Amino acid sequence: MEISQLRTLIHVAELGSLSKASDRLHIAQPALSRQIRLLEEELGVRLFDRHGRGMIVTDQGQDVLRHAMRVMGELEEIRASVAEGDAPLRGHVSIGMPPTAADILTEPLVAAFREAHPEATLRIVSAYSGYLLDWMHRGEIDAAILYDPKSARTLRVQPLLEEVLFLIGPPGTGLSLDVPVDFGDLEGERLLLPSAGHGLRAILDKCADERGFSLHVPVEADSYSTLKTLVRGGHGSTILPKAPIHRDIALGQLCAAPLVNPVPMRRLIMSYPTDRPVPRLARFAGQTIASNIVGMVEQGVWPGRLPPDEPKPDGGVSKTRLMRSSAL
């Protein structure tokens, strides 16, 4: 088994085509085809299903691919360990994010990679925390943003933010960012929320229990985009963070108000697995994400409370900063 075979496997799997991989690697297509064939013969499994439009990785191929990406990541770490500290990195990294975080953090993360590490490849996986945690433990992603993970003791974690949740309604409902809504006023209100067992729903059910009532949820939807669509259509209100919908609010497509008594909040962390080294590209992604969150909190885009001694990009620390909002 040769490193060149693993590199070819990764590129063909990503592009779904030998010809596209040939163009990218500047290696003749027959040579790449031979590398894949020799690897399949050595392992005794079929790595790809071939069809007229390209090549699709088989289930066994996916298992081999995960190991190949880890091997290539370790090789890149060897190169990076002896390179200059600010030298651009190569390699591949996979970062997981919940949908609400992905909506606002994907673009600045991609921009940072293009500027600092243009030869690296970045995969962003958007899913709920439970799935991301499972995929990280299985080695399918290198790091993830998670909400209040129950198994945080099995992770390396960096607190990012205590995120404030807002009442979100359709235009014309009179909600205002300057006028807090008492959580008790939600009793009997038609709410569109994730299903029971979802982390956000558990936080809201606990807040309602503190006020002595149960939330009225005639429609449940675990898709963040579905909730936004239903609210815009006038089918009810929901409760979400403000950051991923701040553009909708600015355009008048949605309106929002802070909630008080109690203020619903959830903890956002950057997490890394403990059973393997953290790739430098994953650490760079984490630092970029943390820095962007700090900036968005200070700009008022992402209401929430930053953790004490928040790491800064220059390696220093800063004191806890609170959002300037009547919600706190």
Q: Per CATH, which fold does 163-265 belong to?
A: D-Maltodextrin-Binding Protein; domain 2 (3.40.190)
Q: Residues of CATH 3.40.190.10 domain(s) within the chain?
A: 88-160+266-318
Question: Among candidates 244, 241, 240, which has minimal Cα distance to 304?
Answer: 241
Residues of the chain with CATH 1.10.10.10: 3-68
Q: For position 282, what pLDDT does the model report?
A: 92
Question: What does CATH list as the number for 3-68?
Answer: 1.10.10.10
Phi and psi torsions of 76, nearest 5°: -65, -35
- pLDDT at site 38: 93
Please give the CATH superfamily to which domain 88-160+266-318 belongs: Periplasmic binding protein-like II (3.40.190.10)
Task: Say if CB 73 and CB 35 are below 8 A apart.
Answer: no
Its pTM stands at 0.68
Q: pLDDT tens digits for the chain (328 residues)?
A: 888 899 899 889 888 888 888 888 888 999 999 999 999 999 999 999 988 778 999 999 988 988 888 887 777 767 666 665 567 888 889 999 998 899 999 999 999 999 999 989 899 999 888 888 888 888 889 999 998 766 556 688 889 999 999 999 999 888 999 999 999 999 999 999 998 878 889 899 999 999 999 999 999 998 888 999 999 999 999 999 999 888 899 999 999 999 999 999 999 999 998 777 788 899 999 999 999 999 999 998 899 999 876 444 444 444 333 333 323 3
Strands 120-126 and 91-97: parallel
The pLDDT assigned to 161 comes to 93
Residue 312: its pLDDT value, please?
43
> What confidence score (pLDDT) does residue 286 get?
95
**Amino acid at the residue 210:** E
The rounded distance, in Å, linking the Cα atoms of 299 and 325 is: 11
Residue 99 and residue 126 in contact, taking contact as beta carbons nearer than 8 Å: yes
pLDDT of residue 89: 80
Distance between terminal CA atoms of the chain?
58
Measured between alpha carbons, how far is 139 from 95 in angstroms, rounded to an integer? Answer: 11
Query: Beta strands of 185-252 (E only): which ranges?
Result: 192-193, 219-220, 238-241
**Predicted pLDDT of residue 315:** 42
Q: Report the pLDDT value the prediction gives residue 137, as an integer from 0 to 100.
A: 80
